[in-house]
Amino acid sequence: MPRSRQELWSSGCSLWMFPQIHPHLLSFSPKVDSVDGKAATVSKNVLPCTLDEATQKLISLIFSNDMFKEAMECMNLDIKKMPLGKLSKVQIAKGFEVLEEIEAAMNTPNQRNRLEELSSKFFTTIPHNFGRNRPPVISTKEIIEKKKEMLMVLADIELAQTLKSETEKAQEEMIEKVPHQLDQDYASLNCKLSLLDKKSKTYKIIETYLKATSDKYYNPTIVNVWEVDRDMEAERFAEHDSLENRRLLWHGTNIAVVAAILKSGLRIMPHSGGRVGRGIYFASENSKSICYVRTSNRTGVMFLSEVALGKEHTITEDQSSLKKAPSGFDSVVARGRVEPDPSKDTTITLGGKEVAVPQGKPKEQRQFSDSSFSNSEYLIYKESQCRLRFLLEINTRH
């Protein structure tokens, strides 16, 4: 979704969503025999995978090293100088530190030479591949924001690598039977994914929601839908049981950060910001959120979250300084000039609560005809006010 931690990062390859930072990369060595110092080998019986075929394919995709490498290359990162196995929280933190130095230098007159020096330092810290082109000077706020967003994407790739490292480390233990690698990757997420029956009422509602609010350019089609149940998220979300006005809203993302989101949820980070401030952004139109989806071989992932909006504060112009809803309100809605026809909304019951789900096509909203937002954006400023409910695997035309 837009801005904040979910800010769009655009590269020459595609559109990117940036996530939260998860600095937990671990390193490990092969299990070594204490007698001769050689790596121990033991015949292991790998158990059959217990996941259904669709879930196996999903887990394989969101932990795919080829997919991660593709994501890094699209951000012009040099995967030879900075291979997946060498990503570290220290390196990413140093990248942020250099960007902060550049920001400080930008606020001082006549600092061109200093900016060139610091830009070189940044590209040494976070190796890029510009081909034969000379590395650019980082000299504008826009470039700095894009580089911050890139580092946040990189941080979530790091988390996925950490999770994979942990499962591989477990396999190094000298035991005769080990779970299938996909089972271990799935277990590392601490998140239950339940494949929805395509004949179920809920699936049909989601399918209608997508078709009614998508556009012809991306022309997304659903491959599969999973119900999501993140560990401890229900308990956190229960803090807002008293809030009414709940909606199922879209959240688009980069496929390279899906594992991190399933593990840690949607988060608000200090480096985030956007047209409606530092919060988590959602949309009622698929056509809005899909702009922030980064696919792998035209396969992408989108989330539908239950959002406890409560009392909405409506705006029609940018308010980028917001860090919380105004006093007396629970959320902020930047009203767009169009909105899915509210008269077509339906409801589903989730966790004993009625949740509104748009089903109508976008309709002009005359009362917001002068809004600076073409599509509505829904903002919450507390992470606990949303709960991931569904994960959609989609195919897109572009």
Task: Please list the active-site residues.
Answer: 377
Helix (H) or strand (E) holding 46: strand 45-46
State the burial class of residue 391 (Cβ atoms within 10 Å of its Cβ: 0-12, 13-18, 19+): buried
Chain centre distance of CA 304: 12
Q: If you compute the radius of gyration of the chain from its CA atoms, what whole number of angstroms results? A: 22
Residue keyed to tokens 């830009």: 119
Q: Note the residue count of the chain.
A: 398
Measured between alpha carbons, how far is 292 from 3 in angstroms, rounded to an integer? Answer: 10
Residues 283 and 248 sit within 8 Å (Cβ to Cβ): no
Burial class of residue 316 (count of CB atoms within 10 Å of its CB; 0-12, 13-18, 19+): middle
Separation of CA 205 from chain center: 24
Beta partners for 181?
A: none
C-beta neighbour count of 382 within 10 angstroms: 17
Taking 3-state DSSP, the helix, strand and coil percentages for the chain, each rounded to the nearest 5, stand at 35, 25, 40
One-letter amino acid of 90? V
Interatomic CA distance for residues 252 and 69, integer angstroms = 20
**Using CA atoms, how far apart are residues 382 and 268, in angstroms rounded to an integer?**
8
CA dist 343 to 150, 158, 191, 359, 382, Å? Answer: 40, 44, 35, 9, 29
What single-letter DSSP state applies at residue 340?
E
